Chain A
Amino acid sequence: MAVLPMQRMELCALKINRKKILEMLQRRGVVEVHDDPQDDDVFRKTDTASARAVLEKGITASRESLKILNRYAPEPGSPFSALEGRKATTVERYDSFAEQRDSVLQLAYRLSSLEEEIQESRTEIPKLQIQTEALEPWKDFELPLNFSGTKKAAAFIGVLPPGTQKEALEEQLNAAGADAVSVEIVSSSPEQTCVMVLCMRTAAHAAEDCLRELGYAKPAVAPPVPPAEQLKKIQGTVEALTQKAQQAQEEIIRHRDARENLKFMLDYYTMRFEKYGVISRLSQSRKTFLLTGYLPAREAGALQEELDASFPVAVKFETPGEEEDVPVLLCNNGFAEPVESVVESYSLPGKGETDPTAVMSIFYYVMFGMMLSDAAYGALLTGICGYCLYRFQNMEKKMRNTLKMFLFCGISTVFWGVMYGSYFGDVVDVVSKTFFGTHLTIPPLWFAPLNQPMRMLMFCFIIGLVHLFTGLAMKLYQLARAGQYKDILYDVIFWYALIISLIVLLLGQKTFANISGASIVLPGPVSNTASAVAVVSAVGIILTGGRESRNWFKRVLKGLYSLYNITGYLSDVLSYSRLLALGLATGVIATVINQMGSMSGGGVVGAIVFVIIFILGHTLNIGINMLGAYVHTNRLQFVEFFGKFYSGGGRKFRPFAVNTKYYKFREDHKNG
């Protein structure tokens, strides 16, 4: 339950060992390399941008080629492959991959060029098909379409509007002054008429003008060979392109066995890319290099031992100073660890703050359970997560933690479901009534919120108060650790006193008795004490709330404003009514589904309809309500709970490590 203490590390070693030392550190993955901006005459930074550009190219090539391979030869895999985790590999394989690298890289480029060929044919073929369509009406015409005539005769080959007749056209041309014409209708369709008009060169202008007026246009494509021949040529090209694409595709599929190598290459380049990123941060002299960074204190001993055993190095560990920006790494037990990601998605603890994960985890699971609140849903959630955790032992840690979080949430849901007596809503009642004619019901262990919503609401508020008070207690702990004992009195104790005394006073009120149905009569001394405490603490808050101001007038004004925060507490507590609302939502929708299912009555048909509606409806309900429970549990932690003591702002610890996609190094394997 804590933020791990960090140590600053300085390592000085010979350059000839640089590769080995860095690779070892990368595999260990415990050091975050720190940029030390000291440049002097001896130590300089090296620019590795060009080397990184080459490596990046390798990464892109591997990634692209894998994508291509997956497009034509999809990887056989189960839908659970995301849970399987990375394969383990050895340092020897990594080291020996250097020999193989060039051939695999060639293959990656080959795959890319094959894909290019396929894409080219894919864009070329439709273009050719458009040409074919344009030439189709001319296919019986024996001259090339760009034929313009002989020395004495002019030829016009082109299209006219549909419905043009030979005789009519001849007459019109004659009338326009172009005599001795010959008109040939090549083909006619509802869209157009294809014609060839021959006339004397001398009358060519007259004929052309007349044709223009009639809407004459040259063919869209006019190849220099007769249409039939051109069509054949196009046909041949299309076939060749199709075949080429086919062959390229077949070749890609033939290379599917290279997939593992490509994956390995992607990881190989990714690792080297990261390594070069680190090299650019090292201070290097002619023969030595200097590495500074942070690492968790508990790793320091083992790392030093390992380094000393293999290389001549000088390592120094020291506790970082107050003003340093030390990265944050959380460490929690198996129960709390899964919700670390929730804390992280808010913000990691800043300077001097405690890790809230452990305390939050209990509330997280409890509240999630109260919102999902159905024993059967919880059992399903627990079962699925438990099975996956058991079945896929090699799962990545992040995934494992997510599943573990939902496993614990599921267990809590079962608990609350049993308390409230909800099993798929009221499925036991409905089934027994509809299909067996009896009336069975599983009574709630505690009470059913749908029947006693006020009681449930009160319970939610109590949970809320506990949550908020725990938040205040966290603040107390933090202040105590920092030694700010006065602040504890002003910012925590006064508020505790004020709120508790107000609650005590509220309990004695008549309205409260009306709402909750339970009347509590406070003995006189108790209510008097409560009133006194409330007044004292309120005055205390007014006097100290603005204590950073020196001006007394300003201080009291600020104090009054901080007393106004009491409304904040009111709205915070009211916010916990979502525990009731979401809990009811699950139960009522489940009831609606069951009722819909039972509407077609008993018998075989009724049973089939019931099963279908039951499965579809409850799947949907689980999905929606899990989403709701997740979002609102987070909200209660982030806004209500963290609002009391936590502001975060820490920087995540990002060690120099093997951040690969497909392979990881076997854990039992020490450095090579």
Chain B
Amino acid sequence: MDKMGIVFALLGAVLGALMAGVGSARGVGLAGEAAAGVVTEDPGKFGKVLVLQLLPGTQGIYGLLVAFITLSQIGILGGSAEISLAKGLLYFLACLPIAIVGYGSALGQARAAVASIGLVAKQPEQFGKAMIFPAMVETYAILALLVSILSIFGIGAINI
């Protein structure tokens, strides 16, 4: 049973990349549909709607980031992979914020992005404001990322 530590730690890392990644993929896809619709009417708006489409994509990157830091901390990328069960579970828990909030916020952000794409389609000069609405949602992904990262670094220093 003591060998299970690494399993839980890896599960956490994988979940982080997985759920945030799936959320971002769905979000970018959703926004992409709306963006493509705008470009059929006016190809000149491609640059602007592309930026808006990409906004829900960052959660996937945060997931990757957490996964990578976890992988290097638990020694899967070279080094010894000896960690206790308790520590493995701690890593698992540390990855949950970005996994769950990442997924949810990517979808929420995608909906805001779709609405903003609609805004830009009608009033291209309001691009600056249109960009802010999806960015507001991202705050929560960033806060979750912060908690995940700080926890992971903190766990490394704990001795159990």
Chain B residues, CB < 8 A from A631: 51, 55, 131, 135
In the complex, the answer to whether A588 meets B69 with C-beta atoms within 8 Å is yes
A58 to B17, CA, bound (A): 57
Residues of chain B from 124 to 151 with CB closer than 8 A to chain A in the complex: 125-129, 131-132, 135-136, 138-139, 142-143, 145-146, 149-150
Per a CB cutoff under 8 Å, which of A342, A592, A638 touches B68?
Answer: A592
In the complex, the answer to whether A585 meets B128 with C-beta atoms within 8 Å is no
Interface check B61, CB cutoff 8 A: yes
Interface check A595, CB cutoff 8 A: yes
In the complex, the answer to whether B135 meets A635 with C-beta atoms within 8 Å is yes
Q: Which residue of A has the minimal Cβ distance to B153?
A: A453
Q: Which residue of B has the minimal Cβ distance to A623?
A: B54
In the complex, the answer to whether B132 meets A581 with C-beta atoms within 8 Å is no
In the complex, the answer to whether B65 meets A624 with C-beta atoms within 8 Å is no
Chain A residues, CB < 8 A from B58: 585, 624, 628
Chain B residues, CB < 8 A from A575: 139
Interface check A591, CB cutoff 8 A: yes
A574 to B129, CA, bound (A): 22
- Shortest Cβ gap from B119 to chain A (Å): 13
Chain A residues, CB < 8 A from B55: 627, 631
Interface centre among B55, B58, B77 (most CB of A within 10 A): B58
Contact with B along A561-584 (1 / 0, CB 8 A): 000000000000011011011101
Residues of chain B from 36 to 64 with CB closer than 8 A to chain A in the complex: 51, 54-55, 57-58, 61-62, 64
Chain A residues, CB < 8 A from B153: 453
Interface check A634, CB cutoff 8 A: yes
Per a CB cutoff under 8 Å, which of A577, A589, A639 touches B143?
Answer: A577
Residues of chain B from 110 to 132 with CB closer than 8 A to chain A in the complex: 125-129, 131-132
- Shortest Cβ gap from B159 to chain A (Å): 17
| CB-CB under 8 A for A580 and B146, given A346-B128, A588-B68, A634-B132 | yes
In the complex, the answer to whether A453 meets B149 with C-beta atoms within 8 Å is yes
In the complex, the answer to whether B131 meets A634 with C-beta atoms within 8 Å is yes
Per a CB cutoff under 8 Å, which of A345, A624, A639 touches B128?
Answer: A345
Per a CB cutoff under 8 Å, which of A453, A578, A591, A627 touches B150?
Answer: A453
| CB-CB under 8 A for A574 and B143, given A581-B62, A592-B68, A634-B128 | yes
Interface size on B, residues (CB 8 A): 30
- Shortest Cβ gap from A514 to chain B (Å): 11
A628 to B150, CA, bound (A): 21
In the complex, the answer to whether A624 meets B136 with C-beta atoms within 8 Å is no
A624 to B135, CA, bound (A): 14
In the complex, the answer to whether A346 meets B77 with C-beta atoms within 8 Å is no
Interface check A632, CB cutoff 8 A: yes
Contact with A along B62-82 (1 / 0, CB 8 A): 101100110000000100000
In the complex, the answer to whether B129 meets A627 with C-beta atoms within 8 Å is no
| CB-CB under 8 A for A345 and B129, given A454-B150, A581-B142, A591-B68 | yes
Chain A residues, CB < 8 A from B51: 627, 631
| CB-CB under 8 A for A581 and B68, given A628-B58, A639-B136 | no
A342 to B132, CA, bound (A): 12
Contact with B along A15-57 (1 / 0, CB 8 A): 0000000000000000000000000000000000000000000
Interface centre among A575, A577, A588 (most CB of B within 10 A): A588
Q: Which residue of A has the minimal Cβ distance to B61?
A: A585
Chain A residues, CB < 8 A from B68: 588, 591-592
In the complex, the answer to whether A584 meets B128 with C-beta atoms within 8 Å is no
In the complex, the answer to whether B64 meets A589 with C-beta atoms within 8 Å is yes
- Shortest Cβ gap from B160 to chain A (Å): 18
Binding site for A on B (CB under 8 A): 51, 54-55, 57-58, 61-62, 64-65, 68-69, 77, 125-129, 131-132, 135-136, 138-139, 142-143, 145-146, 149-150, 153
Q: List 26 A-B contacts (CB under 8 A).
A: A342-B128, A345-B128, A345-B129, A346-B128, A453-B149, A454-B150, A457-B146, A577-B142, A580-B146, A581-B142, A581-B145, A581-B149, A585-B61, A588-B65, A588-B68, A588-B69, A589-B61, A589-B64, A589-B65, A591-B68, A592-B64, A624-B54, A628-B58, A631-B51, A634-B128, A635-B136
Binding site for B on A (CB under 8 A): 342, 344-346, 453-454, 457, 574-575, 577-578, 580-582, 584-585, 588-589, 591-592, 595, 624, 627-628, 631-632, 634-635, 638-639
